Structure 1
Amino acid sequence: MAHPTRPGMTVPLPGPLHSHQAKLAELADLGYSDIWSAESDGADAFTPLALAAAWEPRLRLGTAIVPAYTRSPALFAQSVASLADAAPGRFAIGIGSSSNVIVERWNGIPFEQPYKKVRDVVRFLNDALDGEKVSKAYDTFEVSGFRLGVRPEQRPQILVAALREGMLRLAGRESDGVIINWLAPHDVPTVTKVVTDAAGGDEREVVCRIFCCPSENSEVVRAAAKFAIAAYLNVPVYAAFHEWLGRGDQLRGMWDAWQAGDRKAALAEIPDQVVDDLIVHGSPAACRAKIQEYFDNGVTTSSLAILPLDPDLNHWQAVRDLSPSAG
């Protein structure tokens, strides 16, 4: 069965969390169906969604993503079950490996065996949400005698953030869907085929974080976007991802200059075409058309992330300009 198209927005929105009630209502009024939180160095992933659970029942809530490492297994299960209990049938937990910077440098946790860690957390959550006592040795941790005391009315969906084939197959084989990011619309079929094949041909939800800046000031947007692209695509897992997607020749100059320690030259080596592939920018109408290309190529759920690449960009006007009701 085909998944319905779900237009979503990344949260938290600008401003303090206590000020977001009216903004969340406007998101729903504008036709957004989902909000997706992340967890790095800002708000935790669950608090913005807990507020939304109480304030705006029209929105589905998801995490994109919670790192597999930064909560102990029992606490992870408690957090997931609590939010599922607060928002029955409209919460999805997205889990990923995150990065060595977030896990190891910021949280002091060894960033080891990321594939196995994500897989084990997915398996443990499935076991815990069954309501039975869990006493099991997983490859990366062991749980002895834990029983989840919160029983949500509806089991939350579990999604896996993935880049390359191993994690994509895990998403298709053992979860309800996949979370993807930093790719062009024409890259989506390459990714989704691996997921669908691993799922035995069954369709899975495909959530995509899409980076957007609805501005026609192309020179300014491209120059600022190159900083973001360099920051991400020099991380080894993202470099390998884009090599796999076939973007290696376009990015080789950037990678070589970065490795040589010449950051300025690395930025200059990023082709405008790569920026245009990975960042949605231009007029609002052009942006909406490109966002639609992601859906046409297999994305089922968007999580728009509005980037302030143009200093004159008004974030909330961008939210309105990119909304389903704007078309």
Structure 2
Amino acid sequence: LALDTAWLTVGGAAPDPFAVFTAAAHRAERITFGTSIVPTYPRHPITMAQGAMTVDQVAPGRLKLGVGPSHRPGIEGTWGLEFNKPLSHLREYVTILNALLNEGEVDFDGEQLHAHIRIAQPTQVKVMISALRTGSFRLSGELTEGGISWMCPLPYIRDVATPAQQEGADAAGRPKPAMIVHTPIVVSEDREAVRAAARQQFGFYQRLPFYSRMLQAAGFEEAAGGEFTDRMADGLIISGSANEVADRVRSLGEYGVDEMLAAIVQLPEGGREARRSTLELLGELASE
């Protein structure tokens, strides 16, 4: 398919991404691997680094390690862990990962996290974080190799996220890192089918506080009421004919996007054909 990166979403009791990527690296010798996103609270950063190091040993320089705090319902409801000061937690977490993976040792005592250890040698792992609001985009610019958004409208990426990321990079005296947009996409001209699939697959995000506030800031005031509207589906999902989808993907750079992480929408009818068409189109676009 000529795609550049194989990404895995990670949540709940999903298979461990580092085990999956380590196995895949023996067969896939060219592409890079990315996590979007490994929740931070259930894993101490040293444990996270151990998994990343395993992949880096068999696929040097080919892992994009995306981490993030996730959300209170999942962390407290599923794991039974306290979800406290997530942005401060993420800053401490990334500080530890950067030191250990990039420098080979860490000696850190923070408000929430502590780490004192060294490894045999630094790795080539690229540390990235999830980002929805200005604080996390700013942090991505300051400390990481990239910010990974999800369900963020493209105008919001251009007008809010990218300036915040640039601000963080400027404050740290470093180049702006990658803006990676994880976006729903499907080749289909059946707008009602796409909207129905969106309500089924994504209709709960606006009920999560972080997403609700982001969507409201992006101009979708109805997110405050917990409803996933057709207007939201149309604004968040790249869909249409093959030519229309291709044009929108080609225009992503105009919104400050450096890389697209594609989440193919599963249609209730004709889903297999739509998925095949979407994958083929993405492969063609990646080869341009």
Instruction: Tell me if both proteins adopt one fold, taking TM over 0.5 as the criterion.
Output: yes
Residue 173 (structure 1) aligned with residue 142 (structure 2): yes
Corresponding position of 1:9: none
Preserved contact between residue 179 and residue 259 of structure 2 (Cα < 8 Å): yes
Residue 87 (structure 1) aligned with residue 59 (structure 2): yes
Secondary structure of 1:294's match?
Answer: helix
Residue 36 (structure 1) aligned with residue 7 (structure 2): yes
Corresponding position of 2:18: 46
Corresponding position of 1:70: 42
Secondary structure of 1:101's match?
Answer: helix
Measured after TM superposition, the shift of residue 65 of structure 1 is: 0.9
The code of the aligned residue for 1:84 comes to D
- Per-residue CA deviation, residues 130-158 of structure 1 (Å, 9 max, x unaligned), is 223x3431121222x42224x35x42111
Corresponding position of 1:137: 109
Segments of 5+ residues of structure 2 without an aligned counterpart are: none
Corresponding position of 2:258: 300
* CA distance in 2 between partners of 1:46 and 1:233 (Å): 30
Preserved contact between residue 18 and residue 54 of structure 2 (Cα < 8 Å): no
* CA distance in 2 between partners of 1:323 and 1:286 (Å): 16
The code of the aligned residue for 1:104 comes to E
Secondary structure of 1:112's match?
Answer: coil
* CA distance in 2 between partners of 1:124 and 1:293 (Å): 36
Corresponding position of 1:8: none
Measured after TM superposition, the shift of residue 93 of structure 1 is: 0.8
The higher-RCO structure (CA 8 Å, 6+ apart) is 1
Equivalences for 1:63-212 in 2 at 5 Å? Answer: 63-129=35-101, 130-132=103-105, 134-143=106-115, 145-149=116-120, 151=121, 154-190=123-159, 191-200=161-170, 202-212=175-185
Corresponding position of 1:285: 243
* CA distance in 1 between partners of 2:217 and 2:7 (Å): 27
The code of the aligned residue for 2:282 comes to L
Measured after TM superposition, the shift of residue 125 of structure 1 is: 1.0
Measured after TM superposition, the shift of residue 229 of structure 1 is: 3.9
- Per-residue CA deviation, residues 247-292 of structure 1 (Å, 9 max, x unaligned), is 22xx15xx43x4xxxxxxx45xx1x332111011122221222222
Alignment CA distance shift 1:101-1:50 (3 Å): farther
Preserved contact between residue 213 and residue 310 of structure 1 (Cα < 8 Å): no
Measured after TM superposition, the shift of residue 309 of structure 1 is: 2.6
Matched pairs, number: 279
Corresponding position of 2:32: 60
* CA distance in 2 between partners of 1:180 and 1:188 (Å): 9
Alignment CA distance shift 1:322-1:127 (3 Å): closer
* CA distance in 1 between partners of 2:84 and 2:135 (Å): 16
Alignment CA distance shift 1:135-1:183 (3 Å): closer
Measured after TM superposition, the shift of residue 321 of structure 1 is: 2.9
- Per-residue CA deviation, residues 278-312 of structure 1 (Å, 9 max, x unaligned), is 01112222122222222331111111111213421
Measured after TM superposition, the shift of residue 108 of structure 1 is: 1.9
**Structure-1-length-normalised TM-score:** 0.79
* CA distance in 2 between partners of 1:186 and 1:106 (Å): 33
The code of the aligned residue for 2:269 comes to P
Segments of 5+ residues of structure 1 without an aligned counterpart are: 1-29, 259-265
- Per-residue CA deviation, residues 5-34 of structure 1 (Å, 9 max, x unaligned), is xxxxxxxxxxxxxxxxxxxxxxxxx22111
Secondary structure of 2:147's match?
Answer: strand
* CA distance in 2 between partners of 1:73 and 1:198 (Å): 22
The code of the aligned residue for 2:8 comes to S
- Per-residue CA deviation, residues 157-190 of structure 1 (Å, 9 max, x unaligned), is 1111111111111111111111112122222212
Preserved contact between residue 205 and residue 301 of structure 1 (Cα < 8 Å): yes
- Identity percentage over the alignment? 26
* CA distance in 1 between partners of 2:186 and 2:266 (Å): 7
Measured after TM superposition, the shift of residue 214 of structure 1 is: 1.5
Measured after TM superposition, the shift of residue 62 of structure 1 is: 1.2
Secondary structure of 2:17's match?
Answer: coil
